[in-house]
């Protein structure tokens, strides 16, 4: 018996020893997290080590206990203005790891893609690019993409018309501004080229990139005045989720939910939103905006089978419905849907010197009339669709060269029940493209980018659009210069319109329209010293064969509208930007733009042009209850909008009509206060918009507005 007990005891000891050998040793990781600028400790930073984590206290100190030995990846999670810091260590004992986090107040180190279709640091991009970052949007309390653009880009004018909200930048309307989401164009919704920007969820924006001038060499038609590319957020953590809700005057509600995941090979992000408002001005007093209800959803999924390949799919749906005011005699109201579907995949070589990407994107707009006296039956009036397929090959043969080549095919289709003729009609346009670009480092600080595109269009034939950009860097200075060509193909509606607009006037297209051709040149100087950034740029944009709608009074006294190519239009101007961080807390930004936009056939200013415009913001980045907050006051200023046109009578006589709006400045004040507990963030926003209650006939705004919003995020 004694021998048996001894044997059992020995066996238990052996098993215990084996278990002890099989168990991984654990150690503690600790350290401090401080701000790079002030060297002050940052409380509330969550530091992760695999599935374990710890949060910094008031002294910026954190501890992560019982972390398994071996290779460990440490990551910081803090407010969005502080990019995630990552550190890899080999854990063999209790270890101290300190972090110095830099708040990204300005975007000089942002990576951009729009100017060259390749990733470049903003400071190194040979094409001058404006960037509006995620945190800038949050601190400004922006509730829409349009508000984000107006806050940061001078000279944007919104002019409501029968075809929606027409956006003009520096004298050019929506037809000359190419709108992209993750590099794919959005289909226009009317003859004016309008795009409803509310289909883009502002809370899903990582950044907005904008380049001025001709960019047809890379992007084809419509890239005449500017290219605006919205880069959407990608999931970063294993699981993340957030929810937003805000209320403003006129019972304006905005709500949103999103969730995402980023695993080793698979990532996905889904979001949905609903926005609604009772509108204003329905009583006939002042400016008018219809009551509306919007909702939308987005799904992005990605798969990386290897570190050299990826496949991605995206789907987006948006519904916009406007309602008649109380007491209206209208028997119907408008409803529209937007549907986007896309897929892309990439493959790179083992040495990363060669990469290929294939993408296909489909975007369609549906326009309905809702018949209120027939149980809200929906009649489909119009559809517009755009299909694009693209192949791009990027090759880096040496450190000095970067080459891009690609093929692209686009198909555009419009269906209309009455606007393209007396009977339901479908019209199409197609174009095939080949393009190439070469970037060469001539000297250590001197880069050149040359590119060109050849387009064959089924309606007007061919177009060749070359470009050249140069950048020279010396000390804190960067000098950029460029010349490029662009074209805009006539739209289906400009070519084939044929309808009576509710008995008020007739509109006729012109199938003989030529493509507009643009020649754009620019020079700029940028200076960066520490937290100061200043840039000055001058540009000249000449557009030939410009398509213009003109009025003719027929013999019966009726109004008829036609399209024609006029001689040319010339835009010349200067842009100035300034940003500086004072006393570690006060960020100041200012932008000024001068634009002289002349229709050379008349000598008059282009409609709605604003010669002088500017934006300014002062943001105080401080702390309350040992956590950050921001207080911003911002304004945008415009000189009078100009309305100048020549009216031709039935006898051929011409009269000049010249009007202008009042100058105006719109100001707002915004307080944003986040609270962070471990992986949870709650952020509260208070905003007063149109602070001084400015109102003017040409300015569609209800006056002073109050907003309160709350956001919850988990990462």
Using a 10 angstrom Cβ sphere, with 0-12 exposed, 13-18 middle and 19 or more buried, the burial of residue 191 is: buried
504 vs 691: CA distance, rounded Å: 39
pLDDT at 124 over 60: yes
**Beta-sheet pairing, 226-232 with 177-181:** parallel
pLDDT at 345 over 80: yes
Per-residue exposure over 377-399, b if at least 16 CB sit within 10 Å of its own CB, e if not: eeeebbbbbbbbebebebebeee
Token pair 């400790």 is found at: 41
pLDDT band at 575; cut points 50, 70, 90: very high
pLDDT band at 562; cut points 50, 70, 90: confident
Beta-carbon neighbour count of residue 59 at 10 Å? 12
Phi then psi for 347, rounded to 5 degrees?
Answer: -145, 130
pLDDT at 557 over 80: no
Instruction: Say which DSSP state 554 is in.
Output: -
Mapped onto helix, strand or coil, the DSSP state of residue 21 is helix
Q: Say if CB 457 and CB 465 are below 8 A apart.
A: no
Predicted local distance difference test score (pLDDT) of residue 23: 61
Per-residue exposure over 82-103, b if at least 16 CB sit within 10 Å of its own CB, e if not: beebeeeeebeeebebebebeb
Beta-carbon neighbour count of residue 420 at 10 Å? 22
| Three-state secondary structure readout of 592-609 | EEEEEEEECCCCEECCCE
**Per-residue CA distances from 363 to 125, 293, 314, 343, 557 (Å):** 30, 21, 11, 12, 41
Higher-pLDDT residue of 512, 676: 512
Per-residue exposure over 604-631, b if at least 16 CB sit within 10 Å of its own CB, e if not: bbbbbbbbbbbbbbebebeeeeebbbbb
Higher-pLDDT residue of 121, 9: 121
- Residue 389 CB partners (closer than 8 Å, separation 6+): 358, 359, 360, 361, 408, 409, 410
Predicted local distance difference test score (pLDDT) of residue 18: 47
364 vs 379: CA distance, rounded Å: 17
Beta-carbon neighbour count of residue 137 at 10 Å? 24
Instruction: Say which DSSP state 5 is in.
Output: H
Closest listed residue to residue 322, CA positions, set 375, 392, 275, 255: 275
Q: What angle do CA 361, 364, 366 make, to 5 degrees?
A: 170
Predicted local distance difference test score (pLDDT) of residue 559: 85
Closest listed residue to residue 385, CA positions, set 410, 368, 409: 410
pLDDT at 463 over 60: yes
Predicted local distance difference test score (pLDDT) of residue 140: 93
- Encode pLDDT of 266-311 as tens digits: 999 999 999 999 988 866 666 788 899 999 999 999 999 999 999 9
Predicted local distance difference test score (pLDDT) of residue 162: 46
Q: Can you list the alpha helix ranges (DSSP code H) found in 69-156?
A: 134-139, 145-152
Q: Say if CB 510 and CB 562 are below 8 A apart.
A: yes
Closest listed residue to residue 205, CA positions, set 29, 43, 352, 80: 80
Straight-line distance from the first to the last Cα atom of the chain, in angstroms, rounded to the nearest whole number: 60
Which range among 62-76, 123-137, 401-415, 700-714 shows the weakest confidence by mean pLDDT? 123-137
The average pLDDT across 140-165 equals 79
Instruction: Say which DSSP state 175 is in.
Output: G
pLDDT at 164 over 70: no
- Encode pLDDT of 671-682 as tens digits: 999 888 878 889
Q: Say if CB 381 and CB 356 are below 8 A apart.
A: no
Instruction: Say which DSSP state 41 is in.
Output: B
pLDDT band at 652; cut points 50, 70, 90: low
- Encode pLDDT of 16-43 as tens digits: 554 544 467 899 999 999 888 777 788 8
93 vs 628: CA distance, rounded Å: 34
Predicted local distance difference test score (pLDDT) of residue 21: 46
Token pair 């909008």 is found at: 641
The average pLDDT across 203-214 equals 90
Residues above pLDDT 90, as percent of the chain: 47
pLDDT at 347 over 90: yes
């Amino acid at each position: 018996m004694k021998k048996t007990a001894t044997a059992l005891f020995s066996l238990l000891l052996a098993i215990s020893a084996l278990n002890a050998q099989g168990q991984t040793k654990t150690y503690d990781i600790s350290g401090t997290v401080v701000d790079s600028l002030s060297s002050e400790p940052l409380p509330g930073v969550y530091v992760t080590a695999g599935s374990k984590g710890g949060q910094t206290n008031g002294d910026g100190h954190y501890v992560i206990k019982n972390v398994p030995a071996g290779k460990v990846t440490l990551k910081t999670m803090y407010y969005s203005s502080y990019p995630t810091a990552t550190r890899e260590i080999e854990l063999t004992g209790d270890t101290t790891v300190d972090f110095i986090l830099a708040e990204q107040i300005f975007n000089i180190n942002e990576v951009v893609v729009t100017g060259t279709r390749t990733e470049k640091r903003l400071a190194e991009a040979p094409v001058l690019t404006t960037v509006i970052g995620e945190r800038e949007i949050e601190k400004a309390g922006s509730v829409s993409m349009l508000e984000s653009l107006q806050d940061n880009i001078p000279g944007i004018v919104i002019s409501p018309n029968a075809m929606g909200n027409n956006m003009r930048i520096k004298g050019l309307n929506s037809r000359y501004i190419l709108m992209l989401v993750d590099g794919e164009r959005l289909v226009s919704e009317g003859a004016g080229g309008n795009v409803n920007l509310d289909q883009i969820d502002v809370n899903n924006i990582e950044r907005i990139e904008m380049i001025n001038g001709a960019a047809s060499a890379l992007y084809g038609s419509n890239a005449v005045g500017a290219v605006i590319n919205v880069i959407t957020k990608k999931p970063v953590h294993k699981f993340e989720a957030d929810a937003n809700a805000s209320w403003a005057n006129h019972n304006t509600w905005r709500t949103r939910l999103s969730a995402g995941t980023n695993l080793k090979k698979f990532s996905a992000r889904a979001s949905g939103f609903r926005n609604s408002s009772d509108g204003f001005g329905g009583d006939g007093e002042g400016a008018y905006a219809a009551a509306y209800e919007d909702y939308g959803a987005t799904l992005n999924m990605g798969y990386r089978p290897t570190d050299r390949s990826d496949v991605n799919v995206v789907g987006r749906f948006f519904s916009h419905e406007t309602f008649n005011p109380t007491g209206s005699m209208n028997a119907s109201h408008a409803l529209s849907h937007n549907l986007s579907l896309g897929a892309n995949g990439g493959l790179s070589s083992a040495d990363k010197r060669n990469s290929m990407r294939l993408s296909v994107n489909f975007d369609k707009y549906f326009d309905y009339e809702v018949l209120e006296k027939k149980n809200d039956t929906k009649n489909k009036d119009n559809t517009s669709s755009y299909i694009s397929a693209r192949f791009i090959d990027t090759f880096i043969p040496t450190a000095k060269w970067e080459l891009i080549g690609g093929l692209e095919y686009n198909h555009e289709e419009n269906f209309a029940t009455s606007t393209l003729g007396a009977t339901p009609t479908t019209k199409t346009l197609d174009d095939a493209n080949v393009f190439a670009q070469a970037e060469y480092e001539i000297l250590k600080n001197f880069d050149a980018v040359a590119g060109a595109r050849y387009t064959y269009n089924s309606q007007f034939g061919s177009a060749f659009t070359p470009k050249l950009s140069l950048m020279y860097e010396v000390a804190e200075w960067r000098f950029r210069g460029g010349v490029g060509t662009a074209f805009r193909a006539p739209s289906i509606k400009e070519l084939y319109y044929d309808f009576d607009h509710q008995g008020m006037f007739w509109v006729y297209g012109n199938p003989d329209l030529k493509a507009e051709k643009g020649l754009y040149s620019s020079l700029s100087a940028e200076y960066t010293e520490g937290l100061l950034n200043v840039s000055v740029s001058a540009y000249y944009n000449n557009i030939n064969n410009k398509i213009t709608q003109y009025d003719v009074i027929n013999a019966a006294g009726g109004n008829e509208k036609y399209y024609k190519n006029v001689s040319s239009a010339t835009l010349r101007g200067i842009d100035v930007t300034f940003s500086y961080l004072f006393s570690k807390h006060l960020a100041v930004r200012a932008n000024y733009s001068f634009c002289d936009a002349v229709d050379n056939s008349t000598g008059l200013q282009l409609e709605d042009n604003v010669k002088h415009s500017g934006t300014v913001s002062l943001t105080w980045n401080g702390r309350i209850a040992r956590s950050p907050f921001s207080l911003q006051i911002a304004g945008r200023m415009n000189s009078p909008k100009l309305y100048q046109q020549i009216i031709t009578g039935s006898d051929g006589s011409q009269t000049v009509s010249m009007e202008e709006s009042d100058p105006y400045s719109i100001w707002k004040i915004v307080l944003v206060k986040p609270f962070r507990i471990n992986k949870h963030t709650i952020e509260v926003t208070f905003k007063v918009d149109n602070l001084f209650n400015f109102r003017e006939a040409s300015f569609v705004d209800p006056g002073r507005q109050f907003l309160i919003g709350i956001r919850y995020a988990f990462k």
